Each structure stands twice: as structure tokens, then as C-alpha cells.
Amino acid sequence: MRPTHAFTGRPARPSDLVPPGQFITDEFPVLTAGPSPLVSRSVWELIVGNEEESRSFTWEEFEGLPQEQVTVDLHCVTHWSKLNTTWGGVLVSTLFEAARVDTHETPYALAMSYHDYSTNLLAQDLVRYKALVVTSYEGEPIPVEHGGPARLLVPHLYLWKSAKWVHRIQLSATERHGFWETGGYHNYGDPWREQRYQGD
Ligand SMILES: Nc1nc2c(c(=O)[nH]1)N[C@H]1C(S)=C(S)[C@@H](COP(=O)(O)O)O[C@H]1N2
Ligand SMILES: [Mo]
């Protein structure tokens, strides 16, 4: 979601390429609360649904779903941005369809990881802004420290919303807050509006 400058026609400057308060890095920092869980593909399972309907996907079932590739910029709330990262996986909208969940009836999503981490999102946002559950990074399996075997990728929000080692996407009619949101971070987390903390 970069500004296109079609209106003024002026060339993009580096400061135009990242949201306010962000700095570009070529590194790929690792930010994890606690140790990385080791989840092998043979036991990995993704559960998507709400209280009434849910579906679980084994690794093989997940691999059998239509796969997409995207190139997106990452924006961490600790001020680093990494541009042009390429990921492959399955659109969350595809998972919602397979699980037969109605995002209007249960609009609040909580992404839960294999360890004690969760983050809240809006189900319809995950569809509209093409969030994915990704299993490859730059054409290779995602390294464990970056969330392998599978992580959520929510390109339009700060990176804490992209839960690593995602295990469950749970929809509900009422909102529940995740790990950082409970700890004072912004409920929505739009980097372009600099929504870092509650009240921003
Ligand atoms: N399961 C889990 N997912 C997580 C985190 C975490 O601690 N646990 N940290 C979040 C934060 S704050 C950021 S910035 C990104 C970091 O992703 P990276 O380590 O691949 O750079 O993961 C997000 N997803
Ligand atoms: Mo972060």
C-alpha cells in the first residue's frame, strides 16, 4: 500500500515509502515473546472457525488448497520496516470459505499461536486486505524463528498482528483482545495512521 503520487507526479522519496516513524532495514529482525515453539509438519494443524462451524487442516490438506504468492512490506511497531518481502501461502478468505464461517455473524477474529501468543483482528479485514497463512518466505520454507512452519501475514497492519506459528483462527460475535492488545498496544494497529498504542 504505497502512495502512487499520481496526483502530484513527483518522484517517490524514501520517506514516502514507509509509514511515519519507520526506518528501512535490510535485516530481518526476530521479535518473539518467549522461545519459539517447534512444530513439525506431521503434527501441525490449523483450525479455522467459530463456535458453530470449524475446520481443521492437516499440512497435506493445507498444501492442497489454492496457493498464492505476495510481495509486501513489513512494518514493526518498534520502528523497523522491511520492504519487498515475498511469501507464499493460502488466503484467509479461502480458509473461511472452506470452514463455512460467516464473517458478518462472527466479525471478530483471534489468531492464536502454538505458544502463548494471540492477536485480535477483524474477520472482514482479513478478507478485504488479503491476509494469508503463509508457509514460504522468499521461496523457501519459513525459518522457525520467523514463524515456520506457518504464520499469519496481515500486510496492512503492524507486524505484531502477523502471528507466527499460527494454530487457530477463531471467529466470534464478541471481541477478545490478544497478547499485545491486552498489554496496551492499539486495538487496530494501522501503521499509516501510526496506531501504536491505545489512544493513538
Ligand atoms: N507467535 C508469535 N507471533 C508473533 C510474535 C510473537 O512473539 N509470537 N511477535 C510479533 C511481533 S511483535 C513482530 S514484530 C513479528 C516479528 O516477526 P519476525 O520475528 O518474523 O520478524 O511477529 C509477530 N508475531
Ligand atoms: Mo513487533
Please indicate, yes or no, if residue 1 is contained in any of the structural domains.
no
Please indicate, yes or no, if residue 55 is contained in any of the structural domains.
yes
Asked whether the beta carbons of 99 and 49 are under 8 A apart, the reply is yes
Side-chain half-sphere of 103: how many Cα atoms within 13 Å? 19
| Ligand 2 centroid, distance to 33 Cα (angstroms) | 10
Per-residue confidence at 15, pLDDT binned at 50, 70, 90? low
Atom of ligand 1 nearest to the CA of 114: 1
Mutation to probe ligand 1, out of 78, 83, 135, 164 (largest number of atoms < 8 A from CB): 164
| Ligand 2 centroid, distance to 79 Cα (angstroms) | 9
Q: What is the pTM of this model?
A: 0.93
Ligand closest to 85 (CA) is 1
Residue 19's SS3 state is coil
| Ligand 1 centroid, distance to 18 Cα (angstroms) | 19
**CB of 169 sitting under 6 A from ligand 1:** no
Please indicate, yes or no, if residue 37 is contained in any of the structural domains.
no
pLDDT tens across 89-147, in order? 999 999 999 999 999 999 999 999 999 999 999 999 999 999 999 999 999 999 999 99
Asked whether the beta carbons of 145 and 165 are under 8 A apart, the reply is no
Asked whether the beta carbons of 24 and 18 are under 8 A apart, the reply is yes
Asked whether the beta carbons of 154 and 131 are under 8 A apart, the reply is yes
**% of the chain exceeding 90 in pLDDT:** 91
| Ligand 2 centroid, distance to 160 Cα (angstroms) | 5
CA distances from 59 to 88, 89, 134 (A): 14, 12, 12
Q: Which domain holds residue 82?
A: 43-179
Measured in whole angstroms, the distance separating CA 46 from the mean position of its chain's CA atoms is 14
> 2 pLDDT exceeds 50?
no
Please indicate, yes or no, if residue 58 is contained in any of the structural domains.
yes
pLDDT tens across 145-181, in order? 999 999 999 999 999 999 999 999 999 999 999 999 9
Please indicate, yes or no, if residue 193 is contained in any of the structural domains.
no
Per-residue confidence at 14, pLDDT binned at 50, 70, 90? low
Number of H helices, E strands in the chain: 5, 11
Ligand closest to 163 (CA) is 1
The C-alpha atoms of residue 165 and residue 151 are separated, in whole angstroms, by 5
> What CATH number does residue 134 fall under?
3.90.420.10
Mean pLDDT of all residues in 20-33: 95
